[in-house]
Amino acid sequence: MKRSTTLAVPFPAIPRRRFVQGLVAGGVLLGLSPFARAAGMQSARTNTGSAAVLSGTEFNLEIGESPVNFTGTPRMATTVNGSLPAPTLRWREGDTVTIRVKNRLNETTSIHWHGIILPFQMDGVPGISFAGIPPGETFTYRFKVQQSGTYWYHSHSGMQEATGVYGAIIIDPAQTDSIRADREYVVQLSDWTDEDPMRVLAKLKMQGDYYNYNQPTAVDFFQDASQMGLKAAIDKRKMWNEMRMSPTDLADLSANVLTYLMNGTTPAGNWTGLFRPGERVRLRFINGAANTFYDVRIPGLQLTVVQADGVNVEPVTVDEFRFGPGETYDVLVQPKDDAYTVYAQAMDRTGYARGTLATHAGLEAPVPALDSVEWLTMTDMMGAMGGGMAGMSHSAASQSSGGMSHGGMTGMGHGNMAGMNHGSMQGMNHAGMSGMDHGAMSAAGASTQVRHARTEYGPSIDMRVDMPRTNLDDPGIGLRNNGRRVLTLSDLHTVGGPMDPRGAEREIELHLTGNMERYTWSFDGVEFGKSTPVHFRYGERVRVILHNDTMMTHPMHLHGMWSELEAPDGQFQARRHTIPVQPAQRISFLVTADALGRWAWHCHLMLHMDAGMFREVVVA
């Protein structure tokens, strides 16, 4: 294996304006602040790139600004102790920790301890759990650590999460860790934009697919025509055009505006973790991105997943996993060669973050080419009914509503929908499906009862799914049948089973809704500023049903309480703090309302949260 300071293989062929993202090594230009140098205590077993590791029970953090350069253009980042990512905090289960956070900004700031069980006053969400930290002020967080595992922290104020306020948390168990490794690394993935995030949001408000550079082209059309025939290719385009939806708009943002980072380092910077051949290495993957789902693999190594969202799971070995903002996965690997590429490509396939596991600094392994872009399918748009339509011709598909309600289609603002047979669609509405075989639908994993709130019928909604799928064994668009073993939610089984053996006392169903053209996101068609809180009774066991009426995957994060995911048959699956809900999917989980107070509940795609997919939960 040769030593090199350049990539072992060329970057994928992409336009110059996208290629320049991450062309330089990047990082904080003026180095760590005196706080980080004085307080940093590097663990003998942990390396997180340039981020200091602070351990103990007393911590002092300062949030301020630092110059950075990730693309060749200097910008200002929001940093913690002058570091991006922020310092890694190492706690021990059972200890009481005190964290003093000083605000050196000219605006209010905050820190939210993601996935940490604590009193609501310490949760760090301005307007919900406290007022925020004013400029020049210090807020002291103090709470007992009641769990162990891999977690993270980030700002919950404005766009500061996107501009650099995020860091890792490692909590050592009170007893011996059952996960044994010779060495470990935090691998925190994030994304960066040189643009003002508010300007990015404004552009999406004007045009929802502004940053989508994977739009269908004439070349794609001729390829389709050669493979499926001219009429089918025309019908395929006609269906999407009439709905005014893009089959390739998977991620809102692309490498045109984002630089993908691994431990605060660009692909050219090549973060590197060292190992000795034969060692068992634990990689604590954290998705601290504001807007990016990552598909992670290490070519040449299998990944044994041992923890999800900080909780131990029965080990499962895969080649690849997808995770969204807010999620964490711990994996074990046993490298034997000199170097391996840690490869994390964005779900929309426009760019990637990467690093290297190596026996010596300076070694590299080949960097894979980006996977090809795949279109959303009928299943992604229609749920269970779309799956049944997979074998239909595109002409037939364009003449049926599938699992989408007739009202949902006509209310989309998509013109007259001339390609749709509205007469045949009348019998497909969920309110009058008596002619359909509901037994067959249940066996296929579809729900037979879908309740749409009255608030879902309005200009903020561009689609509704009447027959969602409930399967958990789908890795998602772009990962299906790719020749690799890909992790799915159905593979995850929390060690020890559920925390609470009780069944649900009642159910709460909410729909994840939006309008791509208007770039609005909401629960049940109601954006946060117009919504009322969701109420849990203290101590009750609640089944929560999330029904995704959009064509985007939403990582849903409920603060303060665990979400215990259920399999389609109602059996306990896994304990999570962030659950990704795929397009046209219906997911259920149980919550024990054991945390008094006011809590946030939102999509962890920052722009979706900011645009309205946010709700307050009150436990009383």
What burial class does residue 79 get, using C-beta atoms within 10 Å of its C-beta: 0-12 exposed, 13-18 middle, 19+ buried?
buried
* C-alpha distances out from residue 560 to 16, 165, 599, Å: 44, 20, 7
Give the pLDDT of residue 250: 78
Of 307, 63, 96, give the one whose Cα is nearest residue 166: 63
Find the domain containing 57 and state its range.
16-180
What CATH number corresponds to the domain at position 23?
Answer: 2.60.40.420
Label residues 356-385 b or e (16+ Cβ within 10 Å = b): bbbeeeebbbebeebeebbbbbbbbbbbbb
Give the pLDDT of residue 437: 30
Give the pLDDT of residue 280: 97
Residue 138 is encoded by which pair of tokens? Answer: 């210090």
* C-alpha distances out from residue 43 to 55, 56, 113, 154, 389, Å: 8, 11, 21, 22, 54
Give the pLDDT of residue 251: 82
Q: Are 89 and 169 in contact (CB under 8 A)?
A: yes
Of 261, 221, 316, give the one whose Cα is nearest residue 77: 261
* Residue 349 in domain: no
Residue 572 is encoded by which pair of tokens? Answer: 């306990």
Whole-angstrom distance, CA of residue 353 vs CA of residue 67: 21
* Residue 127 in domain: yes
Whole-angstrom distance, CA of residue 196 vs CA of residue 211: 15
Of 479, 464, 490, give the one whose Cα is nearest residue 548: 464
Q: Which of 180, 196, 228 is the last residue of a domain?
A: 180
Is cis: bond before 498, omega within 30 of 0? Answer: no
Whole-angstrom distance, CA of residue 522 vs CA of residue 525: 5
In three-state secondary structure terms, 176 is: coil
Q: Which of 122, 150, 180 is the last residue of a domain?
A: 180
Could you give phi then psi for residue 440, rounded to 5 degrees?
Answer: -65, -35
Q: Which of 180, 215, 249 is the last residue of a domain?
A: 180
Specify the number of domains making up the chain: 2
* Residue 447 in domain: yes
* Residue 619 in domain: yes
Give the pLDDT of residue 341: 98
* Lateral strand order in the sheet of 554-558: 534-536, 614-619, 597-603, 554-558, 578-581
* Residue 249 in domain: no
Give the pLDDT of residue 432: 29
Give the pLDDT of residue 345: 97
Could you give phi then psi for residue 586, rounded to 5 degrees?
Answer: -120, 120
Whole-angstrom distance, CA of residue 207 vs CA of residue 194: 19
Give the pLDDT of residue 516: 83
pLDDT digits (tens, 9 = 90+) for 52-82: 999 999 999 999 999 999 999 999 999 999 9
For residue 92, what are the β-bridge partners? 172
* Residue 449 in domain: yes
Give the pLDDT of residue 358: 97
* CA gyration radius, the chain: 24
Q: Are 347 and 291 in contact (CB under 8 A)?
A: no
Strand bridging mode 183-192 / 281-287: parallel
Whole-angstrom distance, CA of residue 428 vs CA of residue 432: 7
pTM of this prediction? 0.84
Give the pLDDT of residue 18: 43
Residue with tokens 């011709």: 393
Q: Are 299 and 320 in contact (CB under 8 A)?
A: no
* Residue 229 in domain: no
Of 569, 558, 572, 462, give the one whose Cα is nearest residue 518: 462
* Residue 144 in domain: yes
Whole-angstrom distance, CA of residue 82 vs CA of residue 103: 12
Instruction: Tell me the longest C-alpha to C-alpha distance in the chain.
Output: 72
Whole-angstrom distance, CA of residue 553 vs CA of residue 65: 32
- Residues in the chain predicted with pLDDT less than 70, given as ranges, are 1-23, 30-50, 208, 210, 213-228, 230-248, 382-449
Count the residues in the chain.
620
| 3-class SS string, 415-456 | CCCCCCCHHHHHHHCHHHCCCCCHHHHHHCCECCCCCCCHHH
Could you give phi then psi for residue 75, rounded to 5 degrees?
Answer: -140, 170
Of 253, 212, 351, 255, give the one whose Cα is nearest residue 295: 351
